[in-house]
């Protein structure tokens, strides 16, 4: 089978490895130049959080170890309050699982190198997709020089990101429900130099939650930290002068100024534009037997659950399994992928939206801390039956929709426990009050009898 993959990013290059290791002829096309020979493009997150789903996919093609050898484990969140005080929240107090901070460029290089080593895989850079014919499998490409060429494949895999051209042509050929939602928040990347690393507690994802906005920091292997500021676009637009930026950070992120450095903060902030955040859903990911979209092309999500890359890698693994199990009857396998994957993809898109509220606001609230403590108590007592939402999403391969269903069931159980506890407390109080008054009345009556 000849497979054409559009997109040489993380998901596209991993997909090439999967198909290549199965012995298929693979042609990968990417409009950028080879990222192994260039710097990371601006506007893309430098660090990503690798968790169980991504690790499972990498393990399947023998690449997990080389990736983890160049990653930094993060065992929990480190919360910074406005006064600079810190408090940890461990991710997994039962099994001590952790997530890993990985560099986007390094990971892409590992995947492209693995693809390059397979004799049946060919990487083509500097070729931009013009269009796809889902019925015939013909792909039209344009080179940097302007020449146009057509190539034909038995299967076309669109892994060309949130603004996918493959998805555009898929939607032209099929009635598909589609939604694209921009949130009113954007992000800007900053950095903490390595010489300041001693001031940061290692092996944690650091979070500065501030209600309507937040800042996070992920560790790098060179001891520096990648910092990302998330806040409403209106806030970014209001900070136009150096004094505005320094004043804002002095008010909300005071302890971060000496970590980032005043000059580094101002120069980076003033010389870069914030990037938008988009969530994309579509009801169908395939067309007939020749076309499928995966990764951000199928289900782009905001980054607040750290699952964009992991979900994309899981797509590669699931598609590989379905094709193998259906004996490469692509029509059946692709239809099964759309049918089974869509509810999970929509669930994690929704969870990612929810987690932004949790990270920037709820982590400071007593109700959140109570729920976290309750979850951890039941997790320790019934670890096989009660898996908290974060653990099920991040440290298992449980279907995303099942993770969400479990969360709803757990919510109902906790509400019932709280309600029963309140009823028992009120009942106990009323009984004690009744006993008190009955004794007081009896004592009063006895006093009256003695007086007579």
Give mean pLDDT, residues 358-373.
74
Q: In what order do the strands lie in the sheet with 214-219?
A: 86-90, 76-80, 205-209, 214-219, 225-232, 178-192, 275-282
Model confidence pLDDT, tens digit, residues 41-86: 555 567 899 999 999 999 999 999 999 999 999 999 999 999 999 9
Query: What percentage of the chain exceeds 70 in pLDDT?
Result: 95
pLDDT at 324 over 60: yes
Q: What is the mean pLDDT of the chain?
A: 93
CA dihedral (126, 131, 132, 138) positive or negative: negative
The H or E element that residue 390 is part of is helix 389-395
Q: State yes or no: pLDDT of 450 exceeds 50.
A: no
Whether the CB-CB separation of 305 and 355 falls below 8 Å is answered with: yes
Q: Which pLDDT band, with edges at 50, 70 and 90, does 363 fall under?
A: low
Question: What is the pLDDT at residue 46?
Answer: 77
- Nearest of 402, 408, 375 to residue 89 by alpha carbon: 375
Q: Report residue 4: phi and psi, to 5°.
A: -105, 125
Q: What is the pLDDT of residue 362?
A: 64
Domain at 2-350: CATH code:
3.50.50.60
Mean pLDDT of 310-335: 98
- Residue among 356, 252, 309 nearest 44 (CA): 309
Of 4-18, 384-398, 405-419, 420-434, the range with the highest mean pLDDT is: 4-18
pLDDT band at 339 (very low <50, low <70, confident <90, very high): very high
DSSP of 103-153, one letter per residue?
A: EHHHHHHHHHHHHHTSTTEEEEESEEEEEEETTTTEEEEEETTS-EEEEE-
Nearest by Cα to 301 from 248, 354, 222, 244: 354
With beta carbons less than 8 A apart as the criterion, state whether 214 and 233 touch: no
- pLDDT tens profile 224-242: 999 999 999 999 999 999 9
**What tens digit of pLDDT does each residue of 247-257 get?**
999 999 999 99
Q: How far, in Å, CA of 29 to CA of 431, rounded?
A: 76
The residue with greater pLDDT, 120 or 363, is 120
Other Cβ atoms closer than 10 A to 419: 10
Write out pLDDT tens, residues 160-174: 999 999 999 999 999
**Helix (H/G/I), strand (E/B), else coil: 186:** strand
Question: What angle do the packed helices 400-451 and 330-360 form, to 10 degrees?
Answer: 40
168 Cβ contact partners less than 8 Å away, ≥ 6 residues apart: none
- Measured in whole angstroms, how far is the alpha carbon of residue 319 from the centre of its chain? 20
Residues 54, 102: Cα–Cα separation, whole Å: 11
Q: Quick one: pLDDT at residue 418? A: 81
CA 193 to each of CA 33, 48, 71, 117, 264: distance values in angstroms, whole numbers, following the listed order? 29, 18, 18, 35, 9
* In the chain, ranges of CATH 3.50.50.60 domains: 2-350
Give the long-range contacts of residues 324-329, CB within 8 A, separation 24 or more. Answer: 324/22, 328/1, 329/289
Query: What's the residue count for the chain?
Result: 452
What value does the mean pLDDT take over residues 176-201?
Answer: 91
Encoding tokens for residue 161? 């990101």
Give the integer Cα–Cα distance in Å for 17 and 262: 44
């Amino acid at each position: 089978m000849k497979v054409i993959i559009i997109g040489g990013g993380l998901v596209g290059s991993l997909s090439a490895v999967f198909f290549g290791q199965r012995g298929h002829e693979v042609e990968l096309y990417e409009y950028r130049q080879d990222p192994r020979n260039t710097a990371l493009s601006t506007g893309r997150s430098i660090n990503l959080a690798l968790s169980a789903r991504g690790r499972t996919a990498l393990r399947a093609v023998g690449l997990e170890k080389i990736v983890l050898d160049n990653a930094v484990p993060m065992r929990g969140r480190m919360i910074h309050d406005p006064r600079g005080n810190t408090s940890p929240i461990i991710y997994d107090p039962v099994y001590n699982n952790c997530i890993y901070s990985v560099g986007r460029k390094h990971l892409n290089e590992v995947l492209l190198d693995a693809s390059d080593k397979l004799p049946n895989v060919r990487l083509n850079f500097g070729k931009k997709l013009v269009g796809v014919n889902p019925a015939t499998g013909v792909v039209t490409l344009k080179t940097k020089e302007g020449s146009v060429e057509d190539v034909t494949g038995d299967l076309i895999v669109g892994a060309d990101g949130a603004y996918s051209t493959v998805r555009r042509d898929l939607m032209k050929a099929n009635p598909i429900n589609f939604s694209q939602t921009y949130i009113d928040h954007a992000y800007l990347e900053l950095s903490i130099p390595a010489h300041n690393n001693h001031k940061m507690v290692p092996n944690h994802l650091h979070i500065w939650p501030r209600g309507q906005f937040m800042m996070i920091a992920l560790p790098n292997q060179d001891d520096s930290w990648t910092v990302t500021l998330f806040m409403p676009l209106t806030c970014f637009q209001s900070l136009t002068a150096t004094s505005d930026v320094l004043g804002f950070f002095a008010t909300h992120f005071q302890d971060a100024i000496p970590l980032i450095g005043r000059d580094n903060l101002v120069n980076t902030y003033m010389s870069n534009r914030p990037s938008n955040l988009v969530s994309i859903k579509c009801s169908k990911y395939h067309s007939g037997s020749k076309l499928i979209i995966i990764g951000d092309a199928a289900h782009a999500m905001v980054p607040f659950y750290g699952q964009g890359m992991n979900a994309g890698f899981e797509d590669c693994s699931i598609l590989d399994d379905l094709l193998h199990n259906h004996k490469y009857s692509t029509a059946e396998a692709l239809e099964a992928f759309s049918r089974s994957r869509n509810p999970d993809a929509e669930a994690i898109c929704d969870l990612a939206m929810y987690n932004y509220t949790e990270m920037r606001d709820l982590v400071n609230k007593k109700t959140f801390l109570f729920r976290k403590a309750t979850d951890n108590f039941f997790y320790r007592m019934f670890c096989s039956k009660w898996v908290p939402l974060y653990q099920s999403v991040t440290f298992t391969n449980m279907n995303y929709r099942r993770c969400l269903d479990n969360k709803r069931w757990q919510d109902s159980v906790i509400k019932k426990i709280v309600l029963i506890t309140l009823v028992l407390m009120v009942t106990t109080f009323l009984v004690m009050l009744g006993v008190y008054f009955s004794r007081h009345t009896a004592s009063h009556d006895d006093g009256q009898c003695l007086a007579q």
